[in-house]
Amino acid sequence: MELAKKVNIAGRLSKKKRAVQGKNEQLQTILIIFVILSFMVSLILPLSALFGQALYDREGNFAGLNNFVKYFSTPTLVTSLQHTAYISVMTMFISVGLAFMYAYSLTRTRMIGKSIFRYAALLPLFAPTMMHGIGLMYLFGNQGLITSGFFGFSPGWEIKLYGPIGIIIAETVYTFPQAFLIIYIALQHTDYRLYEAANTLGSGRLKQFLNITLPSAKYGIITSMFVVFTLSFTDYGAPKIVGGQYNVLATDIYKQVVGQQNLSMGATVGVLLMLPALVAFFVDHVSQKKQSMYITSKAMGYKIPGNKGRDLLAFLYCLLITCFIMLLFVAVGVAASVKIWPYNLGFTLDHFKFSSFSGDGLTAYKNSLIAAGITAFVGTIFTFIFAYSIEKIRKKRFLRKLGYLLSIIPLSVPGLVIGISYVFFFSKSELEILGLSVSNPFHFLYGTIAIIVIANILHFYSVAFVTATTALRKLDKEFELASESMGVPFYKTMFTVTIPMCLPAILEIAMFYFVNSMVTISAVVFLYSADFKLAAISIVNMDDAGNISSAAAMSVLIVLTNIVVRLLYEWAVLGLRKRNAEWQK
């Protein structure tokens, strides 16, 4: 009797479990297919549209590589390419050189003020690139602080700001934090045991620098060079503000597409814009594999020997860089809050009302907050779920590998290319597939906030994805197996265990999406609609209209917003850490 009852219960249980399991696996399959389909719509199809467009002429006839031939036989366009290459190479050497010395000072000396210097180096990340240009205008422009020798107090110093010099300085400021971060991490992770071995062998400081420091940071340096090159190759904001008559690819593509409606040539330039990033993608892949040789789990942190002279030198250097960055930000801040630069330096908040600029300045700011907020919220959810599906689902190995590859590719698609390829794909109400014309089911997104949000998410997705994946990999991979064996559906474990454990990374991703969505212009410059302007775009428009103090004010608003969001993030992480202290070691 007792036994019969038991058997009965077991039978009932297993029937119910069968249902759960079936749903479980179906859901996982749906998830992973959803991941792939999302990339189809947001990445593959738009890029195909771009590449396709580059193969057709303005009238829609197949042109093969004729567009490229035409490009290279049009002197003005070729000049732009040369300009862009020149700017990028110069920025690459200057920015990486400065960043290396800065990172070296922070990791290999005992100077004071390290944490302040570290934050200062990251400050440019909170501002749109246009702001670096605006700051330079107020320092080195015709009526700039330094050009006029502090309004005549000292001899003036004039550099020819508008043109390559201005662009290079602005791009250097823009790319400095990124280069710094990459090299900083590489230097931090060098195994001190290598130096100990060198010391016991009696090799000198210079030799150690050349034989250990440089090789171990080599891949960090190479990666950062490619990153900097790509960023300045494709940046739109800085050349727009301080480029003057100096044409570069990024401004060209905008003129071709928006100005002349020459989509074919726009697409051609778009393809060219992608080239350095594609090279960088493969180099990065190789260097990441090799870098791991220098970083083992047993690696010891670097112990810094004392050296007063070196510390002083490093301190002065970092102080110089920090002061320059600060000066740039302060200049913009001052410009935004004085009556008429440089004639009436009385304090005013009038520029923040944006009254002189057709009234939509504040609306644009509000729109940016909305777009960045939605991007952060939706982007974080999608990124985490995608990373989870790719990392933690046990089956569908091929699809997961494909998903991983698709998740890394956006890293090498510049914002401008995302923007323009979205124009090509989403603007069309009819799609041509193998000569057949079908209506485009995604056309309705065109001209809405949704397309801005999607573009932003894709634009910043890869970095966020890597952050999420890293956090997920830190968790025992047997959590999922354990719950599977207990018949607990995977999403329950995701909610009760995985997400709480990854919360710091999730917050970081949200913050990252928000800050970047606030400052970016490249992707959205093609996608915003007249009734949904964004703050970053209004900076460019105000600058175009000669209303530079309003542009400065808008930049200040963006930076302040981002700093507030960053502080909120730090505060939340601190709170989390306190709350989770009880289950952490």
Partner 1 sequence: MKDPFLQISNISKTFNHFTALNDISFDIYKNEFVCLLGPSGCGKTTLLRIIAGLEEADHGSIKKNGEEMLHLPPVQREFGIVFQSYALFPNLTALQNVEYGLKNKKVSKAELKQRAMEALQMVDLEQIKDKYPAHLSGGQQQRVALARAIALSPKFLLLDEPLSALDAKVRKKLRYEIKCLQQKLGITTIMVTHDQEEALTMADKVVVMNNAQIMQVGTPEEIYFHPANPFVADFVGSINIWNHHVEGVTKAIRPEHIRLSKNQGMKSEIKAIEFRGATYRIELEVIDSASPLYSQKIEVDLFASSIQAFNLKRGSIIFVQFPENQVLTYKEQVVY
Does 544 help bind partner 1 (rule: CB under 8 A)?
A: no
> Applying CB under 8 A, which of residues 57, 311, 360, 484 lies at the interface with partner 1?
484
Among 198, 479, 507, 563, which residue interacts with partner 1 (rule: CB under 8 A)? 479
Among 159, 327, 334, 497, binds partner 1 (CB under 8 A): 497
CA angle centred on 511, ends 509 and 512, rounded to 5°? 65
Rounded-to-integer distance, Cα 163 and Cα 174, Å: 17
d(CA 294, CA 288): 11
Report if residue 398 touches partner 1, rule: CB under 8 A. Answer: no
For partner 1, give the closer residue by CB, 286 or 482: 482
Phi-psi region of 149 (alpha: psi -120 to 50; beta: other; left: phi over 0): left
Question: SS3 breakdown of the chain: % helix, strand, coil, rounded to 5?
Answer: 75, 5, 20
What letter would DSSP give residue 306? P
Q: Cβ closer to partner 1: 15 or 303?
A: 15
Segment interacting with partner 1 (CB under 8 A) among 75-83, 267-275, 524-532, 575-583: 575-583
Q: DSSP states of 118-159 as a string? A: HHHHHGGGGS-HHHHHHHHHHHHSTT-TTTTHHHHTS-----
Stretch binding partner 1 (CB under 8 A), from 93-101, 282-290, 481-489, 539-547 = 481-489
Tell whether residue 297 is a contact of partner 1 (CB under 8 A).
no
Q: Which residues contact residue 527 at a Cβ distance below 8 angstroms, ignoring those fewer than 6 apart?
A: 419, 422, 423, 451, 452, 455
Fill in the DSSP letter of residue 433.
E
Token pair for 126: 């909170």
Nearer to partner 1, 350 or 484 (CB): 484
Q: Which stretch binds partner 1 (CB under 8 A): 103-111, 115-123, 462-470, 489-497?
A: 489-497
373 binds partner 1 (CB under 8 A): no
CA 253 to CA 269: how far, in whole Å? 6
207 binds partner 1 (CB under 8 A): no
Instruction: Select from 358, 429, 470, 496 the one that contacts partner 1 (CB under 8 A).
Output: 496
Based on the shown chain and the rule CB under 8 A, indicate whether residue 491 belongs to the binding site for partner 1. no
Contact criterion met (CB below 8 Å) for 255 and 279: no
Q: Pick the piece of the chain touching partner 1 (CB under 8 A) from 9-17, 344-352, 358-366, 415-423.
A: 9-17
Residue with tokens 């981002």: 562
Q: How far is the CB of 23 from partner 1 (least distance, A)?
A: 11
Minimum Å gap between C-beta 496 and partner 1 is 7
By CB under 8 A, tell whether 27 contacts partner 1.
no
Residue range at the interface with partner 1 (CB under 8 A); choices 81-89, 151-159, 366-374, 483-491: 483-491
**204-212, 335-343, 430-438, 473-481 -> range binding partner 1 (CB under 8 A):** 473-481
Is residue 501 within the footprint of partner 1 (CB under 8 A)?
A: yes
478 lines the binding site for partner 1 (CB under 8 A): yes
Does 393 interact with partner 1 (rule: CB under 8 A)?
Answer: no
Residue 488 touching partner 1 (CB under 8 A)? yes
Judged by beta carbon, residue 302 or residue 479, the one nearer partner 1 is: 479
Q: Is 7 in the site for partner 1 (CB under 8 A)?
A: no
**From the CB of residue 149, how many other CB atoms can be counted at a distance below 10 Å?**
14
Whether 267 contacts 50, CB under 8 Å: yes
* By CB under 8 A, residue 17 contacts partner 1: yes
DSSP E strand stretches across 310-457:
338-340, 344-347, 430-433, 436-439
Query: Considering beta carbons, is residue 15 or 308 the nearer one to partner 1?
Result: 15
* 300 backbone dihedrals φ, ψ, rounded to 5°: -105, 145
Q: Which residue number, 24 or 38, has a Cβ lying nearer to partner 1? A: 24
What is the nearest approach in angstroms of partner 1 to the Cβ of residue 512? 24
Q: Does 193 bind partner 1 (CB under 8 A)?
A: no
**E strand spans, 259-404:** 338-340, 344-347
- Is 26 a binding residue for partner 1 by CB under 8 A? The answer is no
Let me know: does 518 contact 368? Beta carbons within 8 Å.
yes
CB of 300 to partner 1, least distance (A): 25
User: What is the C-alpha to C-alpha distance for residues 567 and 288, in angstroms, rounded to an integer?
Assistant: 31
487 binds partner 1 (CB under 8 A): yes
In which region does residue 354 sit, left (phi positive, over 0), alpha (psi from -120 to 50) or beta (all else)? left
Determine, following the binding rule CB under 8 A, whether residue 345 of this chain makes contact with partner 1.
no
Is 584 a residue that touches partner 1 (CB under 8 A)? yes
- 20 near partner 1, judged by CB under 8 A: yes
Least distance CB 345 / partner 1 (angstroms): 56
- Closer residue to partner 1, CB minimum distance, 6 or 207: 6
Segment interacting with partner 1 (CB under 8 A) among 118-126, 183-191, 487-495, 570-578: 487-495
φ, ψ for residue 155, nearest 5 deg: -60, 140
Instruction: List Cα–Cα distances, 319 to 116, 385, 538, 571, in angstroms.
Output: 10, 42, 33, 27
- The CA-based dihedral angle spanning residues 505, 506, 512, 514, taken in that order and rounded to the nearest 10 degrees: -160
Judged by DSSP in three states, 446 sits in: coil
Residue with tokens 């985490």: 384
Both tokens assigned to 235: 């940046």
Which positions touch partner 1 (CB under 8 A)? Answer: 10, 13-14, 17-18, 20-21, 24-25, 394, 476, 478-479, 481-489, 492-493, 496-497, 500-501, 580, 582-585
